[in-house]
Every structure is written in C-alpha cells, then in structure tokens.
Structure 1
Amino acid sequence: MNTVIQQKFAVPYQYPVCFSEDIFNSANELFVKLLAKDRLSRVLFIVDEGVSAAHPELLNQIRAYSEAHKDKYHLATEPIVAPGGEDSKNDEASYKQIVEATHLYGIDRHSYIAVIGGGAVIDMVGFAAAISHRGIRLIRIPTTVLSQNDSAVGVKNSVNAFGKKNYLGTFTPPYAVLNDFNFLKTLDDRDWRSGISEAIKVALIKDLSFFTWMEEHASALARRQMEPMKELIIRCAQMHLDHIAGKDPFEFGSSRPLDFGHWAAHKLEHLSKFRIRHGEAVAIGIVLDSTYSFLKGWISSADLNRIVLLFKQLGFELFAPELGGENLIKGLQEFQEHLGGQLTIMLLTDLGKGEEVHEMDHDLIFKAVDMLKDFQKNSILVDS
C-alpha cells in the first residue's frame, strides 16, 4: 500500500528596489529605515575593493552613518573589503571568507549583510548569505550600471565552478536593493557602457518603444550624461522586476527569455578568460542572435542594421576572436545543461518581440559570426 500526502503552500515575497543618491549622508535615512524597527540590528558590511579604491571616503562614511544612527543598528565589525570582479566568483575562498565572517561576528537570521559593489561581488556575497544559517537578510547596494538595472534587482545568487558560470547558486530574494547613482560617476567607460547591453536586451524582446528611446538617446548615453542613464536604469530594472514577478520567478522550466544573447555571452566570457566583461559579451551575444534571426528570415535587414548601429554608436565591440571554432558550439550544450531539459533559446521575430526555439543550425551560427566580423570593420552594415 502506498500512502501519499500532498504538501502545498505559497510564500509571498516582497522587497523594495530603491533609487537614491548619497545614501551614507547621515541626513539620508533611506538605509536605516529599511531595517527592522523593533530591535537594535546588527549589520555586516562587505565592500568591493574596486569600489573602495574609487571612493576612498566610503568606509569612513559607513562608520559615520552607523554612529549617527546607533540607536537603530550597529556595525558587527569593521567593513570587510573583498575582492571584486569575476575573480570573486571564481575563487571559492571569496565566499568562504564571508561565511566565516558570519560565524566570527555572530551574524544570525535577524542580522543583515549589506554588500556594496558590482554584480559579481553581489552574486558571491549573496550566495554566502543564502547558505549561512539557511539564509541571512541581504541588502544589495549595486554600484555599476549592469548591477543596478539587471543583476542586483533579481533573485539569483551564484559563484562559478568547474569552469562554468553560475554553476553553484541559489534563488534567494534580497531583503532590499538600494541603488545610489553617485557610484556610477567613477565607473570607467567600459563599465558605464557594458550595463546598457542588458537594457537593449530586454527592450528587444519586450518593448520596441524602449529600444527607440535608446536610439534617440544613444549619443547622450555615450557621452555619459547622467539623467538619461538614470531613466534607462529605472526603466530596465522595472522591466526585469515585472518579468521576475511573472509565472516562473525561480526558473523551474527551461524558458529564459531574459537570457537573450546569453548562451554565447557566457561561453565567450570563459573563452576570453574574462578579458571580455559580462555586459560586453552580452552585447556580442545579442548581435549574434539578432544576426541569426536575420539569416532565418525572421527580422529584416533594416531591423538588424538598427540593432548593430545602436551598439556601434554606444562604442561596443561586436566581434571577438574567441567566437571562432567549435568551442562556441559547446556553449549551446552547456546552456542546455544549465537550463535542464530541452535547449531553449530566445530569438527575434521583430524588434520588441522574441520567440523561443529549441534548436539552432550550427552552420548559420558560423555564418552569423562571419557577419559580426564584417560589422566590426565596416560602416555599411547589411544591404537593405
């Protein structure tokens, strides 16, 4: 005799995604108001070493802010400066250092970890927070365009393993996300630009009007004007949040529409030994899959030219020598393994409209790669 008890329950998730400036000015109470009001909270700060170097006053600002609000919370210890960039996700010592800190400084499930940095270090610290005490409250304070408009607003945390991106990770929503636009001012041009690729991605598969807006503001964005960048970040973040709130926030299925352009991008990052940054690889991956869509006859040459021209106006490279050979095709296999189940790739049937396919023609992929090489060299793109 078999006895089956069917368990079913739902857990609602809610967290604020905030946009502000100068968040550690003692007069700005946004951070402290995020914390629990019924107890004196303990907060462990982790700061990306690149951010700390670019903002040498930041650690003192954190200390002064904490002192100004000591009736609400206190620092568990001095802010910990941790390695940033993709290396923080490649070296297991990075996340283990954070796990050890939760042990040493008594960070429990009613405490907070506040991580300040780019998307990679936020991924890494988020993973450490999720596996410590089965989940410590995480406040993300992203400092790059890409992390503010995409990676830090979602529910994923991860580190790399076995030569594969995001192999170890969790789906754990943050306690809060706090974006400070002032951090963007010290980004180098590559990091300023690379985050825009995620906005182009979501616009191409969901919202033609947003894509058109970026075409109209491409020159201003390339010149690093802050106001259009703020609007881009907020619009892009909202679209990502709307998607996450949809039918599959923890990705139980194989559909990943927000991974448009990412199957090649993830492989390209590894093949280049992370010389190519994530947003730069995503830009190349988007153009590759858009070109493939054109070769399939799904979008017009005029549509493809608009996509390529926008990336070129923003200053993106559209080709990398690592794209050649069978190693790129392995990226398809690894992407399918990461998804679980059947291969599912998002392609374009129109600007602002995506459609999923479950197989790709390898010969067409290589033809698309050859076209990317031409896009990089030529001012004339695709003949209409």
Structure 2
Amino acid sequence: MEKIIEQTFTVPFRYQVCFLEGIFNVNNPMLADFLDNGKKAKAFFVVDSGVSDAFPNLLNDITEYAKAYENKFLLNSEPLVVPGGEISKNDETIFKKIVDATSIYGIDRHSYIVGIGGGAVLDMVGFAAAISHRGIRHIRIPTTVLSQNDSGVGVKNGINSYGKKNYLGTFAPPYAVINDFNFLTTLDDRDWRSGISEAIKVALIKDLSFFEWLEKHADQLANRVMEPMQELIIKCAQMHMNHIAGKDPFETGSARPLDFGHWAAHKLEHLTHYQVRHGEAVAIGIALDSTYSYLKGMISQADLMRIINLIKTLGFEIYHPELSGQALLKGLEEFREHLGGELTITLLESMGKGVEVHQMDNELILKSIDQLKLFHQENLVARS
C-alpha cells in the first residue's frame, strides 16, 4: 500500500516596533502593557554589561518599574547581566545561562524574556528564548544605532560557532521591539557611527532618495546630531520591516538582498577577531562590492566616488589589511554554504537598485581590494 497525506497551513506573525524616550519611566506604561497577558506573567531581563555600565541606575530602574506595574507582570529574579559585543555570541556558556534560568525560575511559554543591549546580545538572547520550551516570548530593547535600525528589528537570532558567524540560529519574530533613543546618548563614536552603515546599505539597494538624504545629512550624523539620527533609524526600521513582509522572511531561498556588503564583512570580522565591529566591517564590505560593481561596468566611476566619499565623510575606514589574500575569498564560499544552494550576492545595478548575481570573479574581487587600498592610501596622504 502506498499513500501520501498532505497539509498546507500558514502561521501569521505580528509584532510592533516602537520608538520612545524613557522606557523605564514609571509614568510610561508601554513596556508593562506588552508584558501584561492578563495572568501576571513572569518577566526575565537580560542586560548587556555595556549598557548597565553606561547607565548605573538601570538595574534599579527595572526593579522600580516592575514594582510600579506589579499588577501587570512579575519580575521573577534579578536581571542577568551578560558581556556585550561578539563575546556574548562566541561563548556558548553565556546563552546557556539564560536557558538555565528558564528552568530555575519556571519561565514558561506564557512568560517573557526581555533583552536589553546591542545587536550581538539581542541575537544571543533571542536564540536562547527561541530554543527554550520551543519558544518563549521575547521582547527586544535595542540600545545601539545598529540594533535599533537593523538587527534588532528583524526575525533572526543566533550565536557564532565553528569559527563562523551565526552558524547556530533560528528564525523567530520577537513579541515586540522597543527603541528608546535615550540609550544612544552614551554610545562612543564608533558605536554611534557603526549602525549608519546599514542605512547606506539599504539606501543603495532600495532607495536613491534616501541615499541623497544621507549625503545631505552626513556631517550632522557624523557630529552626533540626534534628530537626523532618529529619522534615519525610523526610516531604516520601516524599510527593514517592509522587506520582512515580502516573499521570503525566513530566507528559505538563497537570496538575501539585505546582506549587500555582508559576505566580506562577516569574514573580515572573524579575521580581525572581531576587533573590527560589525557596522565598520559592513562599511568596508559595501565599499568593496560597490567597487566590484564599478569594475564590472554596472555603475559609473562618479557613482562609486559618491559612495566612497559618503562612507569617508561619516568617519568609516574603507580598507583593512586583513581584507587582502585568499582568506577573504574563502568567506565567499562560507557565505554560499550559510545561504544553502547556489551563491547569491547582491550588487548594484544602479544607485538605489540592487541586483542578484550567482557568481563572482575572484580576480576582480582582488582588483577591487587593490582599488580600495589605493583609495585608503590617497586618504592618508591627504591627511598628512
């Protein structure tokens, strides 16, 4: 006997990305309203150590906020403080502490795990939440430009393993994302700048008018003017969410247009032992793939110089010594392996419009690297 039974179903996902100032102000019920499931749910907070160091009263503020809204949710333990940055994704014992806490404190599928921190910490916390009880509700509170405008908005979670970025991970939409602009005020210049690279990325592949806006406001952004930064974050978050709502939010295919500039960036991060931060690596990766697009005759030299000049004006480097050699080319194969199936890379068909290609010319990649090195050296001469 031979028989096949088939079923098709869809699962709708809905979550909000919110923007405010003063999330733990006891007069602001937004977070408490998200945590209120009508059953006085448990909430477990995980805090990036960089954030708790920058805001010494934060842990006390969380406690006082929970007391003010004890009719809506229960703070079932002291917040867990974890190291910030990529170390939180490289050390598996860190995410295991969160999984252990779900057992110790009885954090079930009707409870909430609230992550507060940069993108790396949120990736790790989201992964722990997704694999515990097959999924615990996760609320993200991003605290950096990069996490507020890009990584914290999406549906991906993960940790690094086997020497590869995001090798272990899940697609699990958050219950909510709450962006508090006050967290940006204590960022150092590198972290302030870092997230702007994701805005350059999305502008180049989707919206020329947004790229022109970035050119117009580059000096203000570089000098930490808050109003244009808020506008940038909201614009990027909206574009990111629009993309997620498209045909392939869980990336079952091989196309990842929002990863323009990322194949080289991921490898560069690893080669520098994460001394080059993600946004800094993405800026270099954008410069590399834009140069490659120019050498392939896809964009003009004038277009390329607009891109390079914007990246420089914002304070990014466009070259790093680890960019050269076969080690970087190995990252191309690792990127294909991570995607599954055929290689799919987004390049520039024109300013504001990305195009997918399925092969890259290694010799042209090396020529692109050489060109970036020349741009870099010319800049050093101009400074001296």
* Alignment TM-score > 0.5, same fold: yes
Residues 1:176 and 2:176 are matched in the alignment: yes
Asked whether the 8 Å contact 2:36–2:73 carries over to 1, the reply is: no
2:152 counterpart SS class:
helix
The offset of 1:84, in angstroms, is 1.3
Match of 1:123 in 2: 123
Asked whether the 8 Å contact 2:129–2:135 carries over to 1, the reply is: yes
Q: Provide the rounded CA distance (Å) in 1 between the counterparts of 2:229 and 2:52.
A: 23
- Counterpart of 2:377 in structure 1: which amino acid? K
- Counterpart of 2:229 in structure 1: which amino acid? M
Residues 1:249 and 2:253 are matched in the alignment: no
Match of 2:219 in 1: 219
- Mark the runs of 5 or more structure 2 residues left unpaired by the alignment: none
2:318 counterpart SS class:
coil
Match of 2:361 in 1: 361
2:170 counterpart SS class:
strand
2:113 counterpart SS class:
strand
- Counterpart of 1:333 in structure 2: which amino acid? E
- Counterpart of 1:121 in structure 2: which amino acid? V
The offset of 1:36, in angstroms, is 3.2
Q: Provide the rounded CA distance (Å) in 1 between the counterparts of 2:379 and 2:90.
A: 38
Q: Provide the rounded CA distance (Å) in 2 between the counterparts of 1:355 and 1:185.
A: 37
1:276 counterpart SS class:
coil
Residues 1:301 and 2:301 are matched in the alignment: yes
1:138 counterpart SS class:
strand
Match of 2:322 in 1: 322
Percent sequence identity over aligned pairs: 68
- Mark the runs of 5 or more structure 1 residues left unpaired by the alignment: none
Within a 5 Å distance, the mapping from 1:15-34 to structure 2 comes to 15-34=15-34
1:150 counterpart SS class:
helix
Q: Provide the rounded CA distance (Å) in 1 between the counterparts of 2:23 and 2:336.
A: 41
CA shift digits 1:66-116 (9 cap, x unpaired): 001111111010111111110110001011011001110110000000010
Residues 1:337 and 2:333 are matched in the alignment: no
Higher mean displacement: 269-278 or 33-42: 33-42
Residues 1:153 and 2:153 are matched in the alignment: yes
- Counterpart of 2:353 in structure 1: which amino acid? K
Q: Provide the rounded CA distance (Å) in 2 between the counterparts of 1:360 and 1:311.
A: 23
Match of 1:200 in 2: 200
Q: Provide the rounded CA distance (Å) in 1 between the counterparts of 2:235 and 2:43.
A: 30
- Counterpart of 1:136 in structure 2: which amino acid? I
Q: Provide the rounded CA distance (Å) in 1 between the counterparts of 2:324 and 2:203.
A: 28
CA shift digits 1:97-147 (9 cap, x unpaired): 110011101100000000100000000010000000000000000000000
1:4 counterpart SS class:
coil
Poorly superposed stretches of 4+, deviation over 4 Å: none
CA shift digits 1:282-334 (9 cap, x unpaired): 00000000000000000001100000000000000110000111001100000
- Counterpart of 2:258 in structure 1: which amino acid? L
2:47 counterpart SS class:
strand
1:356 counterpart SS class:
strand
Q: Provide the rounded CA distance (Å) in 1 between the counterparts of 2:226 and 2:241.
A: 22
CA shift digits 1:221-276 (9 cap, x unpaired): 00000000000000001000000000000000000000000000000000000010
Match of 1:11 in 2: 11
Q: Provide the rounded CA distance (Å) in 1 between the counterparts of 2:62 and 2:83.
A: 19
- Counterpart of 2:269 in structure 1: which amino acid? E
Q: Provide the rounded CA distance (Å) in 1 between the counterparts of 2:125 and 2:39.
A: 24
The offset of 1:37, in angstroms, is 4.1
The offset of 1:379, in angstroms, is 4.7
Q: Provide the rounded CA distance (Å) in 1 between the counterparts of 2:361 and 2:196.
A: 29
Q: Provide the rounded CA distance (Å) in 2 between the counterparts of 1:376 and 1:230.
A: 30
The offset of 1:35, in angstroms, is 2.3
Q: Provide the rounded CA distance (Å) in 2 between the counterparts of 1:185 and 1:215.
A: 23
Q: Provide the rounded CA distance (Å) in 2 between the counterparts of 1:37 and 1:9.
A: 26
The alpha-carbon distance between structure 1 residues 216 and 108, as it changes in their structure 2 partners (threshold 3 A), is same
Q: Provide the rounded CA distance (Å) in 2 between the counterparts of 1:78 and 1:194.
A: 31
